[in-house]
Amino acid sequence: MMRLGHLLGGRWVDGEGEGTVLRDPTTGSPIATSSADGVALADAMAWARRVGGSQLRSMTFAQRGELLLSFADKLKEGRQAYYDAVLTNMGANKRDAVFDVDGAIAVLRYYGGLGRDLGDARFLLESEVAQMTRSVDFRVGHLLTSRHGLAIGINAFNFPAWGMFEKVATATLAGMPSLAKPATQTALVAYLMVRDLHEAHLIPEGVLSLLTAGGRELADLVEEEDTLAFTGSADTAAQLRSNRHLIARGARFNAEADSLNAIIALPDVDANSPSLACLIDAIVTEMTIKAGQKCTAIRRVIVPERLLDQVSEALAARLSPLKVGDPRNPQVDMGPLVSRAQQESVIAGAALLAQEGKSLLGGANAVEFVDVDPKVAAVVAPTLIEIGDPSSARLVHELEVFGPCVAVMGYREVADGIELARRGRGSLVATVVSDDSSAFVEAALALGSLHGRLAQLNSRTVGENPGHGVVMPQAVHGGPGRAGGGEELGGLRALRFYLQRTAIQADVSALSSLRAVAGEMR
């Protein structure tokens, strides 16, 4: 059985005792162990700040970009091994593994390209320079420099590859060394990727550290110039955000947390509209990719009341024939959840939601699972729940069931539908289905304050829209309220979290000299 070590202090180290056992969620078989007991984490973090930070700050943006591109090239070579690891450790088929692994490689390439574009500068200057006094010769500009700290990234179990490298890519380009902490139960692919980069001598000392287990003490070890970016549950995000040491040090914190994402059909969509088929396709895709274990997956379907029965029937017809079971079987459409604990959570959560309406599809005996023992495998059938009175319902707007489960609900007036979407109290993404661009704009204006991303979907845009749940590095990822209140990605915007903005009050010649050697923050 494999032992997952930790890349700390520039070398691989191991913890004491057996630690956590990682299992194949399809068979229940143990595949690896990892322990961080006894690991000198504080010393390793101090070393990374000192050694890794110094190396990155001495590099230009172009050089940091080339480093990220070299990471991408090396990881591309090992893709099949990573796909296999995702299959074994997460029960994900090839399509789902590609979503994670290739997504990680793509984000490294994207930020590597941004580094090339920024060229030989080591810091950035915002484009606006303002006059401060009557004199036109004394002005103020804003300089962005690398923080002399450690970028700590704590990642969720569902995207061990992409979730890790989206944070590593942005921090590295900004000039900060990273400490990546994947969720232990699905850490295998993160370990293999970092191991391959290290064995290829591509990681400059201290630039990337990896902790595959433990990590509960990370918030207690932050320093003033550190950043802590977290992806996971809202409860854990709240605990980290309120950590007294983190608050006292003033370290930056970013969270991407629970999200009751919605897809909303506006009133112009009717029973014969081609856009209605787009809505059904989007929902089925989001339910089945990674068995619905995506922070951006659709959880609530909001449609005009006159379409409620048609949408529910169409979804049931598409979902009922799906084969659920061992993803090693090419006939299987959807694999298991990542663990039995996750399976129990999803089944219990779906049962609670069904109390506010009726279950149309799903349940323990809903399907005949393929090539698995349902007493061992973490399999769950696609679950469809229709909410009878969504305006008075509570749980459907508060409880995220993190699996292949959606709730369908109807509205009478468009304002009611918008209000139902807003009752999620902050979401990462919502998709608005409409053939009327003006109606989409009105909906976007009404929904924007509680959503991090809004996507237009109709028969005209379906070929261009990357998908409701697809996070692209060009767009910000995050959301207000219960979604965590943070932002990451979004091109150069993502670098602001890792850079210190300083107002520079100086004469025009000094600011001109600064601009001559700085990159521009667009």
pLDDT in tens, 245-291: 999 999 999 999 889 999 999 999 988 889 999 999 999 999 999 99
pLDDT in tens, 60-73: 999 999 999 999 99
Predicted pLDDT at 1 = 83
b/e per residue 343-359 (b: at least 16 CB within 10 A): bebbbebbeebbebbeb
Task: Classify the phi-psi angles of 399: left when phi > 0, otherwise alpha if psi is within -120 to 50, otherwise beta.
Answer: beta
Catalytic residue among 225, 256, 286, 400: 256
**3-state SS record for 102-141:** HHHHHHHHHHHHHHHHHCCCCCEEECCCEECCCCCCEEEE
Domains of the chain, first to last: 41-257+486-521 (3.40.605.10), 262-476 (3.40.309.10)
Run of H or E residues at 500: strand 499-507
- Judging by beta carbons within 10 Å of its beta carbon (0-12, 13-18, 19+), is residue 216 exposed, middle or buried? exposed
Catalytic residue among 295, 386, 405, 487: 295
The answer to whether residue 133 scores a pLDDT higher than 80 is no
Told to judge if 295 belongs to the known catalytic residues of this protein, a careful annotator would answer yes
Told to judge if 278 belongs to the known catalytic residues of this protein, a careful annotator would answer no
Predicted pLDDT at 366 = 60
Percent of the chain scored above 70 by pLDDT? 99
Predicted pLDDT at 368 = 79
Predicted pLDDT at 183 = 94
**Which residue is associated with the tokens 């274990």?**
293
The answer to whether residue 365 scores a pLDDT higher than 60 is no
Average pLDDT over the chain, rounded to an integer: 92
pLDDT-derived band at 511, boundaries 50, 70, 90:
confident
